[in-house]
Amino acid sequence: MITLLALSGSLRLGSSNTVLLEAAALLAPAGMRIAAYDGIGSLPHFNPDLDGDNPPRSVMALRHLVGAADGLIISCPEYARGIPGSFKNALDWLVGSSEFPGKPIALFNASPRASDAQAALRLVLTTMSARIVEEASITLPLLATRMDAAGMAGNVEIAASVTAALAAFARAIETFAQAEPGGSG
């Protein structure tokens, strides 16, 4: 079983990025489970002074979920041509963690316009030693669609794109695991 953790960069109710991740969970093939992480809004502001032997409980929970996942799917909007502060805050809590480096990541993007945030995310994630899986990274024009997850999953074009990305992600994760037995999740 491949276990993926989905992280949305938007806290907004009805967020197109969150809905895209929910649709991916509906479209997950047999042998893959996608769980959503919904704690980003509850994390404290990152402060290195808090990140010692006894980090905040919510941070430990996030790190545990990341460590237990075979890969992460991130879908993040663009705010003022950058990464939303709350999402960057979550990433900052993972910088010093042992769970994050080497983690396979599929970058989903619900807006073709959000190119600056995507570029910034790539730079940050690469700096954090993530493995961005390009074949599993997709951009879809969902900004004004107002679809729910079932609607997205039932849309032929969206479903084809998401399904292909998930299959590519599963292949990449299996390849990484074969190269490093015991090293994934």
Ligand X SMILES: Cc1cc2nc3c(=O)[nH]c(=O)nc-3n(C[C@H](O)[C@H](O)[C@H](O)COP(=O)(O)O)c2cc1C
Among 26-34, 53-61, 111-119, 176-184, which window interacts with ligand X (CB under 6 A)? 111-119
> Which pair of tokens denotes residue 16?
């197109």
Residue 140, judged by CB atoms within 10 A of its CB (0-12, 13-18, 19+), counts as buried
For residues 81 and 122, give the distance between their C-alpha atoms in angstroms, rounded to a whole number.
14
What is residue 43's three-state secondary structure? coil
For ligand X, the binding residue among 71, 77, 104, 185 (CB under 6 A) is 77
For ligand X, the binding residue among 25, 78, 103, 104 (CB under 6 A) is 78
For residues 147 and 145, give the distance between their C-alpha atoms in angstroms, rounded to a whole number.
5
What residues between 137 and 156 interact with ligand X by CB under 6 A? Answer: 143
Are 159 and 129 a contacting pair, CB within 8 Å? no
Provide, rounded to whole angstroms, the least separation between the CB of residue 163 and ligand X.
21
What residues between 3 and 62 interact with ligand X by CB under 6 A? Answer: 10, 12, 15-17
Give the residues lining the site for ligand X (CB under 6 A). 10, 12, 15-17, 77-81, 110-111, 113-114, 143
